Each structure stands twice: as C-alpha cells, then as structure tokens.
Amino acid sequence: MTHHPYIDEALSRHVLTVGEYFQDRVHGGIAAVLRSYQACFADFRFIPSSRSRSFAHKLRYDLGGLFRLFHRLLWDRDIRIVHIHTAAGRSFPKHLLYARLARLTGRKTVLHCHASRFQVWYEGLSEGRRRRVREEMGRLDRLVCLSEAWKTYFVSIGMPEEKVCVLRNITPEPPAGLPMRETAPLRLLFLGEIGPRKGVFDLLEAMKGIPEGVRLDIGGNRMEAELRTAIRDGGLDDRVFFHGFVSGEQKRDLLARAHVFVLPSHNEGLPISILEAMSYGCAIISTPVGGIPEVVGENGVLVPPGDVEAIRSAILSMLPEGVSGRMGALSREKVKPYYPGAVMDELKRLYRALL
C-alpha cells in the first residue's frame, strides 16, 4: 500500500483514533481498516481499546484504554476530534463510554460502527437499555456507518439523520506484477472467519453438487478442526483446499488466481474481503445483507443466507466460458471508490466539517 499521507499533518494532528489493537498480524475487518488509515495519515495518533486475547487481557485493555484516553486528552490540546472504531456486543457500550469521556473534555466525537451484528445485538436488549443506547448515540457529533442500508437502519431507531454519515470501507489497490489468471478450471475462493456466520459450512454443502474440476480454496481461522472434518466427511478432499489463516504473498496469490470470491454470510457490515477480491477482478457470490448489495450487482450473484441450493446454482452459473471474467472486469471498476484516495477525501470532508 502507498504511504502517501492523504490526511496531512495539519489535519491529522487534530485527530485521535481509538480502536482495537491492529499490529503483529492481528486480523479482522476493523484491524484492516486501521492499518489502511495508519498508512494514509501523516500523524496517526492512536489508542488501543481492546485486544482479542484472554479475558484478563481484554479487561486490562478496557480499563487501560480509558485511562490512556483521559491522560492523552488532558495534555494534548492539539486533539479536537476523537474518532472511535467499534463493533457490536460489549464493544459498543464500552466505546460509547469512551465517547462520553471525550465529550466531557470538549472534543468532537465520531463513532465509526463496523458491526455486522449490531441489529441483532440492539434488538436483543431490554427496552430500558435500548433507550440508554439511543440517548448516548444522540449525543455523538457523528455516527459513521458503512452503507446507505445501515444509515437507514440507524435513523429508523432514532438517530438524528443529520448526524449519521456513510463512509465507504477502504481497501488498497492490488500490487503490480500479479500472476496471470488461468481461464479454466473454475477456481473459487473463501477468505474469512471460519464459522456459521460467514456461511462457509453452507458453501461446503453446496460444493457436494458441483462438477469435478471446480476448486475451492479456503483461508481463515477459528473453527479449523470442524472445517477439516466437514471437508473429509463430505468427500471433498479432492476439490476443497484449506490453507489456514493466509496473509501477504500467499493471500495475494490466492486472490490473483481465483475467478470467483464466495462469501455467503448471514450478517455483515460491508466486508473488506469482498472489496479486496473485487480489486483483484473476482466475480462475487454473496448474500444481500448489510452493505453488500451496494457493491455486488452485475459483477456477481446474491443468494439468500443459508440457502445451499441457491449457492450451488450461483456457482454453476459461473461455469460457462467468459461469465466470471466479465463480472470480474465489472468488479474492478465498481471498487474504485473504495480505494484510499477516494475514501480519504470523504474523511477529510467529515473532519473539516467538525473543525
């Protein structure tokens, strides 16, 4: 990725970013966004608020992050905006507390919601807790979400429309000198957390009815033993290849060789993995959840979450010569507004409006 500072020092010194720890090969959507932001800011001021390790480790980051935020805001008077990246579950109310602390010290607050499961989490709360969440959200200067669909939802639960803005997720442009993609046989690729939410086990079921020769590569972590068992028990060892967690050159090679990226998720915000696959010229098979329909149209096929037959039919529709290539070319065009230059221009407008 380029290290050109799209957000120059004159602006970036006024912004303090808060979010999960994203160094040392930490992976996930928010971590990927924060790495991209760091590369685009001349002066990336950052406080980690969480880290996915043991409960004791998480608690230390929770409490330590609040203390570090308070201390930083006391002595660094350059900071005028606190930009907080959050998910759902315990992360959301915790980060509302960070926003309250920033507000009490006179800073503008931006809460950037990446949560794929926010609606599930919010609607599972008691009415009293939902009301308190709405009140705290209403005190934010801006709530950033990933798509127009999510903006509509947040406004529907009472967030003032003028405070909700859509900021596209960010993905780097692919590097030069990638290997040539072979025209056949068809290669499918899944990259993401291994588990029911991302639909990888639905995808394995769908593969049982796909002709021999079609290859599926899977990269990810978490439920690795369960995945290997499902591949073996499904008789898919000769067509499904699990690589574990992939990054760097291995990830680039898989993306460059794949014809179709498949992510049949049950819920999402707007997956970085889809944007990245589009930048490599992949056709997309996914589901109409979160912001996905805003990036997948004629460049792919959308299927209902959990519908194995629909996933199988979508894969079969990619088999005729030229289909995935035409869709992949559309993907390359459609993803350009999600490259760093375009996204940082939007972010600069947001920051300047608050300043």
Q: Which helix (H) or strand (E) holds 102?
A: helix 91-104
What whole-number distance in Å separates Cα of residue 96 and Cα of residue 100? 6
- What pLDDT score was predicted for residue 177? 80
- CB 192, CB 32: distance < 8 Å: no
What whole-number distance in Å separates Cα of residue 172 and Cα of residue 275? 9
User: Do residues 165 and 230 share a domain?
Assistant: no
User: Do residues 50 and 86 share a domain?
Assistant: yes
What whole-number distance in Å separates Cα of residue 67 and Cα of residue 100? 13
Note the pLDDT tens digit of each residue in 145-183.
Answer: 999 999 999 999 999 999 999 999 999 999 888 877 888
Pairing relationship of beta strands 240-242 and 15-20 according to DSSP bridges: unpaired
What whole-number distance in Å separates Cα of residue 82 and Cα of residue 65? 13
CATH of the domain at 289: 3.40.50.2000
3-state SS string over 117-161? CHHHHHHCCCHHHHHHHHHHHHCCCEEEECCHHHHHHHHHCCCCH
User: Do residues 255 and 346 share a domain?
Assistant: no
- CB 83, CB 142: distance < 8 Å: no
Structural domain boundaries, residue 70: 9-169+339-354
Is residue 302 assigned to a domain?
A: yes
Q: What Rg do the C-alpha atoms of the chain give, in angstroms?
A: 21
CA angle, 190 then 202 then 262, to 5°: 25
> What are the CA-CA distances from residue 83 to residues 69, 204, 235, 281 (Å)?
12, 39, 48, 32
DSSP structural state of residue 1: -
Is residue 130 assigned to a domain?
A: yes
Is residue 177 assigned to a domain?
A: no
User: Do residues 204 and 316 share a domain?
Assistant: yes
User: Do residues 35 and 158 share a domain?
Assistant: yes
The count of domains in the chain is: 2
- What pLDDT score was predicted for residue 61? 65
CB 156: neighbour CB atoms within 10 A? Answer: 8
Q: What is the pTM of this model?
A: 0.87
Size of the chain, expressed as the number of residues it contains: 355
- What pLDDT score was predicted for residue 2? 44
- What pLDDT score was predicted for residue 54? 53
DSSP codes of every residue in 217-283:
EEE--BSHHHHHHHHHHTT-TTTEEE--S--HHHHHHHHHH-SEEEE--SS-S--HHHHHHHHTT-E
Determine if residue 244 is left, alpha or beta; phi over 0 gives left, psi from -120 to 50 gives alpha, anything else beta. left
Give the residues of the chain that fall short of pLDDT 50: 1-2
- What pLDDT score was predicted for residue 190? 98
Strand order in the sheet with 45-50: 45-50, 15-20, 81-86, 108-113, 142-145, 164-166
Is residue 4 assigned to a domain?
A: no
Is residue 291 assigned to a domain?
A: yes
User: Do residues 98 and 198 share a domain?
Assistant: no
Token pair, residue 130, equals 């939902």
Is residue 68 assigned to a domain?
A: yes
CB 36: neighbour CB atoms within 10 A? Answer: 21
- What pLDDT score was predicted for residue 31? 87
User: Do residues 108 and 247 share a domain?
Assistant: no
Is residue 299 assigned to a domain?
A: yes
User: Do residues 22 and 130 share a domain?
Assistant: yes
Cβ-based neighbours of 5, under 8 Å, separated by 6 or more: 12, 40, 41, 42
Cβ-based neighbours of 317, under 8 Å, separated by 6 or more: 301, 323
User: Do residues 330 and 350 share a domain?
Assistant: no
User: Do residues 165 and 225 share a domain?
Assistant: no
- What pLDDT score was predicted for residue 49? 86
User: Do residues 267 and 156 share a domain?
Assistant: no
Is residue 182 assigned to a domain?
A: no
- Beta-bridged to residue 165, according to DSSP, are 144
User: Do residues 60 and 205 share a domain?
Assistant: no
